[in-house]
Amino acid sequence: MDLRKKAGGVVAAKGFLAAGVACGLKPSGAPDLALIVSQRPATAAGVFTTNRVCAAPVKVSRDHVKRGALRAIVANSGNANACTGDQGLADARAMAAAVSQRLDVPAEQVGVASTGVIGHPLDMDKVTAGIEAAARRLARSRAAAADVVRAIMTTDTVPKAAAVTARIGRREVTIGGIAKGAGMIAPRMAHATMLCFLSTDAAVETRCLQSSLDDAVERTFNCITVDGDMSTNDTVLLLANGAAGGRPIRLGSPAAARFRQALTSVCDDLARRMVADAEGATKFIEVRVAGAASDADAARVARAIAESPLFKTAMYGEDPNWGRIAAASGYSGARVDERKLRIVLCGTPVVRNGTPLHAPPRQLRAAVKRKNILVEVHLGLGGGRARIYACDLSHKYVDINAHYTT
């Protein structure tokens, strides 16, 4: 499928406006409130954290998405509005209501998201003023695209935006998005791992949109890990407004398959950007597992390796200690036969049939000095496969999270 990258992120698609403003939630004075709006009715899909301790905006957005339509998304950084009780829930609903009043759209068609420190009530005077300011600045411009992504950043060091244009049937459609996430990212969840807002000018039937998002997230965001911690606020929202024209794409059609492919491409781009910008990361690590008894077993092995503190710190120290890979494979809970285990580190075979191959140490040390690390594990037990993007674990990661609130 011919996909062409496009600038603009979440406003790359026709009929979407956005704004990012500073309302005072971040002491630094950086942008901390984002508003994304479809200029016409849009179908909607969403996926959310499976953490049983989930933030108030997750509860509100989950309820709104069930109705199948959203016109706007409002998000703040600097405060997670999590573990804030009934007041937090009222504040999340008030955010939707403020957007509703300002833009004359139903409150139940407003998605809400928050990110930041847990356990502190929102300053709603600041949030409401921010929504007013953002509504006045809504635009489809390069500046708006830049501001809105900065407004959802926390420990991110670079903005994360992506968009592609593709021909589906007789129509050229665009899918774009923005994401934030550098820590509290793990793949062990049903659907989501961070904040991500996606838009498309394709016309897509609601069931098809939700199915497409579920599949795209499972193949991308659920296949990344930074630290193994699941957030209370993970949210992915997708709006499809049909501004490109044409009949709605329906589940099971050839057009649906092409739409899903394009959507997955955008999500994969954003997922890679998140791992590359992980807190304190110096290495981008890809773990590929093949030959497992099932895809689920392959995923267990990949996750065990990618989340092993011993493996991650070894990669930070540029120590080609493949024993960490073998050990994690064995304790992963997957079916593993040591006699069939094969490991390749950065293109160099190190284990075959459970036996070390005594690769030249100098060659291995040179391999793990690279910015990008590839780990390949073959279990020799079936056709199961999995892939996970991960990063190393550095002193800087510890420093960032040791002083996150102080």
pTM: predicted TM-score of the whole model, two decimal places: 0.88
Q: What angle do CA 110, 68, 90 make, to 5 degrees?
A: 35
Q: Positive or negative, the Cα torsion across 202, 205, 206, 209?
A: negative
SS3 2: coil
Distance in angstroms (rounded) separating the CA atoms of residues 302 and 305? 5
What's residue 193's pLDDT?
44
- Ordered domains of the chain (ranges, CATH): 3-276 (3.60.70.12), 284-402 (3.10.20.340)
Catalytic residue of the set 193, 200, 220, 264:
193
> Mind listing the pLDDT tens digit for each residue in 21-78?
999 999 999 999 999 999 999 999 999 987 888 899 999 999 999 999 999 999 999 9
> Mind listing the pLDDT tens digit for each residue in 136-181?
999 999 999 999 999 999 878 889 999 999 999 889 999 999 999 7
CA atoms within 13 A on the CB side of 322: 26
Q: Positive or negative, the Cα torsion across 379, 384, 387, 393?
A: negative
Please return the burial class of 377, using the count of CB atoms within 10 Å of its CB with bins 0-12, 13-18 and 19+. Answer: buried
Retrieve residue 103's tokens: 């833009």
Q: Give the DSSP H/E element, type plus range, for residue 266.
A: helix 254-276
What's residue 191's pLDDT?
36
Q: How many CB atoms lie within 10 A of CB 383?
A: 11
Per the DSSP assignment, residues forming a β-bridge with 3 are: 166
What's residue 230's pLDDT?
64
What's residue 154's pLDDT?
84
Mean pLDDT, range 8-25, rounded to an integer: 97
Q: In sequence order, what are the residues at sequence separation of 6 or more whose Cβ sits closer than 8 angstroms to the Cβ of residue 339? A: 353, 354
Query: Phi-psi category of 280—alpha, beta or left, where left has phi over 0 and alpha has psi -120 to 50?
Result: left
Q: Is residue 165 annotated as part of the catalytic site, yes or no?
A: no
Q: What is the 3-state secondary structure (H, E, C) of 192-235?
A: CCCEEEEEECCCECHHHHHHHHHHHHHHCHHHECCCCCCCCCCE
